[in-house]
Amino acid sequence: MSPFWAYEVRALEEGSASQVNGPGSLAAILKCQMDMGIPLSVDPLVFPTLCSLRVLIGPSLLLGIIMATGCLVTEAVDVRTERVPEGGLQPVVVENGGLVRLVYLTGDPKAADIHHVERKVGGGAWSPPRTVNSEPGAAVALGSVRGPRLALGGGGILHVLWNGSSKTRPTTSGSAPLLYTRSMPREGGFEVQRALGENTRHLDGGGAVAADGRGTVWVVWHAAQPTPPVGGDDETHRGVFLRVSRDEGLTFGPVRRIDPPGMGVCACCGLDAGIGPDGSGWVLVRGAAGRSERGMRLLTTRAGSLDFQSQTLDSWNLDQCPLSTCRLVQTPDSPSAVWISKGRVQWASLGAPNLRRTLSASARSANHPVLVSLGRTGSAIVAWTEGTGWQRGGDLAWCTLQAGTPNPTVQRLPGVPVWGAVAAWAESDSVVTLLY
C-alpha cells in the first residue's frame, strides 16, 4: 500500500467559486478521495481569500491535485526545540557541508566567553566546546544585543564578530572595542581576536558580519563618528560603518560610513547585513531620526559598488530604545528580513517591497526574531522571544510562514533565560530545530 503524507492544500478563491467547489476543484478532488476510502483531516480555517484544507494524500494523488487545481501544496513542518549547550545564551548558527556550526555565550553576562560546537545536520551529540575569544571574558551578554555574530566564508572559514566587554582593552577613544576573529580550518581553533572599529566611538548595539564564500567579508556596525559633531553625540548623529575584506578576513580596508545624512541610528539595537550571490548587499538597521522615529531602514548597494541607497521599511514613533535585533536571510527567491515594530514581529521579502506581514499578536512584546527558509517547499519558520526584557526571561514563540496564510498559528514554549535569544536551522525541507 502506498504511504500517505500530511500536506497543506490551498486554493485562492479570487472570486471564482470553480476553484473551490466546481469540477476539478478541491472539493471535488477531496470528495473523490473520500469515495476511494482515503482518510482526510479537514482544517476548518477558511480565510476571506483562501480555502485551506489539510489532507492526507498518497504520492499518486499529489501530482493530480496540483495539475487539476493549481493549488499550492506544502508539506507540514516538524519543529523541534532544545536548549543551548551548557545552558548558553544568544546562539547563532550556520550550516556547512552537512554540519551545524554553532556559537553561543557562557559565563558571566558582563564578561562572557564565546564557545563553538558542531554536530551533523539531522541531530546527534554536539562536539566538545572550543573557546572562540582569545582573551577570557571578552564578550558581553547584557541586553541580548551585543553577543556574537557569525558568517560562513570560503573553505568553511567561520567569521565571528562581537562587542567587547569591560575586560578588554578599550579603543583610543575609550569605547568598548568591536572584536573579530576567524576560524583556522587546518590548524583548528580560532585566530587571536582583533579590534576593527578603529576610532569610531560609543559602541553599543551589536554589529554584523557577512561573507560571500569567495573571499569578500563585510564587518558592519553603528557608532558615534570619530569627531564629536556640533550639537553633541545624540542618536541623530550616530552612523553606520563598514569595513571590507577581499582576502577572507586576513586584512580589512578602511572604515567607510554608509548611512545617509539625517537617518540616525537607535543606539542599543543590533543591525544585520548580507551579501547576495551577485555581490549586491543589504544592511538592516533601526533609525533614530529626530530622536523618536525608530522605524527600520534598509541600506542597499549594487554588485561592484559600495555606494548605498536607503529605503524606509516602517515607522515607529518611540522616545526610547527597544533593545531589539533583526535578521536578514538569503532565501531561494530573494532576501527576506525579520524585525520588531511596536512589539510585534515583521517579515518582508526584500525582492518584493509590498510583500510584508505582521506575524505576532501577543500582548507580550516580541523580540530577537530569526528566520529559516525551507527550500523547495516555499515555506519558512520565523521564531522569536516573547516577554523578554532587561534582566527578564520569557517564552520561545514561532510560526510557519506559507504563501496564502495571512494569519499563521503561533506556538509558544516557556523557558527562554535572562539575556537569551533564539537560533534556527533546517534539518531538512520539513524539519526545523529551534535553539533557545
CA gap 402, 73 in Å, rounded: 10
Separation CA 77–CA 34 (nearest Å): 25
pLDDT at 223: 97
Are 329 and 222 in a shared domain? yes
- What average pLDDT does this structure show over 274-289? 96
Q: Give the integer Cα–Cα distance in Å for 260 and 285.
A: 12
Domain CATH code at residue 232: 2.120.10.10
Average pLDDT of the segment spanning 324-332: 89
Residues 31 and 104 in one domain: no
| Residue 431 pLDDT grade (very low, low, confident, very high; cuts 50, 70, 90) | very high
Q: Cell numbers 562581537 correspond to what residue?
A: 162
| pTM score, whole prediction | 0.83
pLDDT greater than 80 at residue 403? no
| Tens-digit pLDDT profile for residues 348-374 | 998 776 688 899 877 889 999 999 998
Contact (Cβ atoms closer than 8 angstroms) between residue 139 and residue 112: yes
Domain tally for the chain? 2
Domain boundary at 24, 59, 75, which? 75
Q: In the prediction, which pLDDT does 187 show?
A: 87
Average pLDDT, integer, range 20-31: 44
What pLDDT score does 330 carry? 83
All cell numbers assigned to 382: 520565523
Q: What is the pLDDT of residue 353?
A: 61
The answer on 249 and 208 residing in a single domain is: yes
- In the chain, pLDDT over 90 holds for what percent of residues? 69
Q: What percent of the chain has pLDDT over 70?
A: 81
From the number of C-beta atoms within 10 Å of its C-beta (0-12, 13-18, 19+), residue 194 rates as middle
**For residue 11, what pLDDT is reported?**
36
Q: What is the arithmetic mean of pLDDT over 214-225?
A: 97
Q: Which 3 state secondary structure label does DSSP give 210?
A: strand
pLDDT tens, residue by residue, 228-273:
888 778 999 999 999 999 999 999 999 999 999 999 999 999 999 9
Strands (E), 109-216: 111-120, 130-131, 149-152, 158-163, 178-182, 194-195, 208-211
Mean local confidence (pLDDT), 403-426: 91
d(CA 380, CA 432): 9
Q: Is the pLDDT of residue 203 over 60?
A: yes
Of 57, 75, 93, the residue that ends a domain is: 75
User: What burial class does residue 388 get, using C-beta atoms within 10 Å of its C-beta: 0-12 exposed, 13-18 middle, 19+ buried?
Assistant: buried
Q: Which band of pLDDT confidence, cut at 50, 70 and 90, is reported for residue 308? A: very high
Pairing of β 411-416 and β 394-401 = antiparallel
How far apart, in whole angstroms, are the C-alpha atoms of residue 131 and residue 341?
35
* pLDDT band at residue 404 using 50, 70 and 90 as cut-offs: low
Check residue 384 and give its pLDDT: 98
Residue 355: its pLDDT value, please? 81
More confident residue, 304 or 25: 304
pLDDT for 388 beyond 60: yes
Same domain, 327 and 222: yes
In this predicted structure, the answer to whether residue 13 has a pLDDT above a threshold of 80 is no
Query: Is there a single domain that holds both residue 300 and residue 279?
Result: yes
Verify that 26 and 97 share a domain, yes or no: no
Q: Which residues of 410-422 are buried (b: 16+ CB within 10 A; e: fewer)?
A: beeeeebbbbbbb
- Rounded to the nearest integer, the mean pLDDT of the chain is 84
Q: Are residues 124 and 70 in the same domain?
A: no
DSSP state of 260: P
Count CB atoms within 10 A of the CB of residue 320.
10
Neighbours of 392 (CB within 10 A): 11
Same domain for 118 and 59, yes or no, is no
Q: Is the pLDDT of residue 153 over 50?
A: yes
Residue range 158-164: mean pLDDT, rounded:
98
Q: Is 422 helix (H, G, I), strand (E, B) or coil?
A: coil
| Domain termination site, one of 75, 110, 128 | 75
Lowest mean pLDDT among 29-38, 65-74, 77-86, 297-306: 65-74
Domain range enclosing 129: 78-435
pLDDT of residue 75: 60
Q: Closest by alpha carbon to 293, among 258, 273, 322?
A: 322
Span 92-106, mean pLDDT? 96
Same domain flag for 320 and 401: yes
From residue 225, alpha-carbon distances to 63, 234, 351, 393 in Å are 59, 11, 32, 34
| Structure confidence at residue 24 (pLDDT) | 43
207 and 65, same structural domain? no
In this prediction, residue 215 has a pLDDT band, given cuts at 50, 70 and 90, of: very high
Same domain, 216 and 268: yes
Predicted pLDDT at 352: 73
**Calpha distance 158→183 (Å, rounded):** 5
203 and 255 part of one domain: yes
